[in-house]
Amino acid sequence: MNIIITGASRGIGYETAKLLSAEHNVIAIARSSDKLEQLKKEGNSKNIFPIAFDFEKGNIKQNLIPEIISSLSQGRGTEGEVAIDVLINNAAALIKKPFEEITQADFEKVYRVNLFSIAELTQAIFPLMNHAGRDFKSRPTSHVLNIASMGGVQGSVKFPGLSAYSSSKGALITLTECLAEEFKDKQIAFNAIAFGAVQTEMLAEAFPGFKAPITAKEAAEFVAQFATTGQKYFNGKILQMALSTP
Ligand SMILES: NC(=O)c1ccc[n+]([C@@H]2O[C@H](COP(=O)([O-])OP(=O)(O)OC[C@H]3O[C@@H](n4cnc5c(N)ncnc54)[C@H](OP(=O)(O)O)[C@@H]3O)[C@@H](O)[C@H]2O)c1
Nearest to 119 by CA among 167, 179, 188: 179
Q: What is the pLDDT of residue 75?
A: 56
Residue 117 domain-assigned (yes or no):
yes
CATH number of the domain enclosing 36: 3.40.50.720
Residue 196 domain-assigned (yes or no):
yes
Are 106 and 95 spatial neighbours (Cβ–Cβ below 8 Å)? yes
Q: Please work out whether the CB of residue 60 comes within 6 Å of at least one atom of ligand 1.
A: no
Q: Please work out whether the CB of residue 90 comes within 6 Å of at least one atom of ligand 1.
A: yes
Maximum distance among all Cα pairs of the chain, rounded to whole angstroms: 54
Per-residue pLDDT of the chain (246 residues; tens, 9 = 90+): 999 999 999 999 999 999 999 999 999 999 999 999 999 999 999 999 999 999 999 999 999 999 999 999 875 544 457 899 999 999 999 999 999 999 999 999 999 999 999 999 999 999 999 989 888 788 999 999 999 999 999 999 999 999 999 999 999 999 999 999 999 999 999 999 999 999 999 999 999 999 999 999 999 999 999 999 999 999 999 999 988 888
Q: Please work out whether the CB of residue 164 comes within 6 Å of at least one atom of ligand 1.
A: no
What distance in Å separates the CA atoms of residue 154 and residue 174, rounded to the nearest whole number?
A: 10
Residue 195 domain-assigned (yes or no):
yes
Q: Please work out whether the CB of residue 7 comes within 6 Å of at least one atom of ligand 1.
A: yes
- Domain, as residue range, for 96: 2-241
Question: Which residue among 4, 6, 12, 56 has the greatest number of ligand 1 atoms within 8 angstroms of its CB, and so is best to mutate?
Answer: 12
Q: What is the pLDDT of residue 138?
A: 87
Residue 246 domain-assigned (yes or no):
no
Q: What is the pLDDT of residue 170?
A: 98
Number of domains in the chain: 1
How many whole angstroms from 138 Cα to the centroid of ligand 1? 34
Question: Which residue among 53, 195, 217 has the greatest number of ligand 1 atoms within 8 angstroms of its CB, and so is best to mutate?
Answer: 195
Task: Return the C-alpha torsion angle 119, 139, 147, 121, nearest 10.
Answer: -20
Residue 13 domain-assigned (yes or no):
yes
Q: What is the pLDDT of residue 77?
A: 46
Residue 182 domain-assigned (yes or no):
yes
Residue 39 domain-assigned (yes or no):
yes
Are 28 and 15 spatial neighbours (Cβ–Cβ below 8 Å)? no
Q: Please work out whether the CB of residue 28 comes within 6 Å of at least one atom of ligand 1.
A: no
Residue 114 domain-assigned (yes or no):
yes
For the beta carbon of residue 42, count every other beta carbon within 10 angstroms.
Answer: 14
Q: How far is CA 103 from the centre of its chain?
A: 25
